[in-house]
Amino acid sequence: MEVVASAPGKVLVAGGYLVLERPNPGLVLSTTARFYAIVRPIHDELSPDSWAWAWADVKVTSPQLSREAAYKLSIKNSTLQLTSARESTNPFVEQAIQFSIAAAKVSITDKEKKDALDKLLLRGLNITILGSNDFYSYRKQIEARGLPLTPEVLLSLPPFCSITFNSEVANGTGEICKPEVAKTGLGSSAAMTASVVAALLHYLGAVNLSCSGQSSSVTATGRDFDFVHAIAQSAHCIAQGKIGSGFDVSAAVYGSHRYTRFSPEILSSAQVRSPG
């Protein structure tokens, strides 16, 4: 089984910093730029002794960044332990995985569904993450080719084009700053977090999200979207180390809408009890 989920970027049209104070509203629009998370099993079949395993394999791949990370997942605690990585890991992805698995385990109470969830975990999680080109700046690549900086040239780039990093530079203190990805400010971390959470919760059976291109009478309910939103907000806040306005994650789940911030106290306890 393979599950693909996507979530859009955002633009805050009205509200600015005022949305940080409840009940001030803001108007947020979703974009055509989207993040995609693909979840599939690592192992085709379960080993006969898999019932005794305490750990499962998790692999996260970002082809655009040429990055791959391997983890061991604690079946009991839903926590990740890094085993290998080509580069630094992404805390937003890690928290999205841990929160999604923990939430799926708590929300599924039927014994048969719980057994099915455990079997899915024991087969391992192979997660691939892709982001639309609009989330990133390709200025350097275009200039290196001697091409003009025009919308037409940007549109000519292949989908999910490889991403380059800004060069290492010295800051005011003389320290060397690590290379960073040049972004366009469309809420890439929120869209990525939401897509990973949605894909995992659907894959594990905690929600039923609508499946485009498939004949199915099952469509996502408000409860499903609310559940994805709650887990994505929690994971995103823990990953960034603070409780932000949340409009970017909200847009990634619900699309364009009039946004009012949730009460920060709701997530304060989550920062203390976060997985890992």
Kindly report, residue by residue over 76-98, the tens digit of the pLDDT: 899 999 998 777 789 999 999 99
Taking alpha carbons only, the member of 54, 196, 190, 67 closest to residue 125 is: 196
Would you say residue 166 lies in a domain? no
Would you say residue 255 lies in a domain? yes
Query: What does the radius of gyration of the chain's CA atoms come to, in whole angstroms?
Result: 20
Would you say residue 204 lies in a domain? yes
Neighbours of 263 (CB within 10 A): 9
Kindly report, residue by residue over 203-256, the tens digit of the pLDDT: 999 999 976 545 444 556 799 999 999 999 999 999 999 999 999 999 999 999
Kindly report, residue by residue over 27-71, the tens digit of the pLDDT: 999 999 999 999 999 998 877 676 667 899 999 999 998 899 999
**H/E stretch holding 167:** none
How many domains are there within the chain? 1
> Residue 30's pLDDT is what?
97
Would you say residue 254 lies in a domain? yes
> Residue 270's pLDDT is what?
57
What's the whole-model pTM score? Answer: 0.89
Least confident among 26-30, 101-105, 135-139, 218-222: 218-222
Kindly report, residue by residue over 119-129, the tens digit of the pLDDT: 999 999 999 99
Average pLDDT value for residue range 11-20: 90
Range of the domain at 89: 3-136+183-272
The CATH number given to whatever domain includes residue 240 is 3.30.230.10
Find residue 170's DSSP bridge partners: 176
**H/E stretch holding 158:** none
> Residue 275's pLDDT is what?
60
Would you say residue 149 lies in a domain? no
Phi and psi at residue 271, to the nearest 5°: -65, -25
What CA–CA distance (Å, rounded) separates 55 from 76? 8
> Residue 128's pLDDT is what?
99
CA dihedral 108, 110, 115, 117 (to 10 degrees): -20
Would you say residue 173 lies in a domain? no
Would you say residue 72 lies in a domain? yes
What CA–CA distance (Å, rounded) separates 45 from 39? 16
Would you say residue 217 lies in a domain? yes
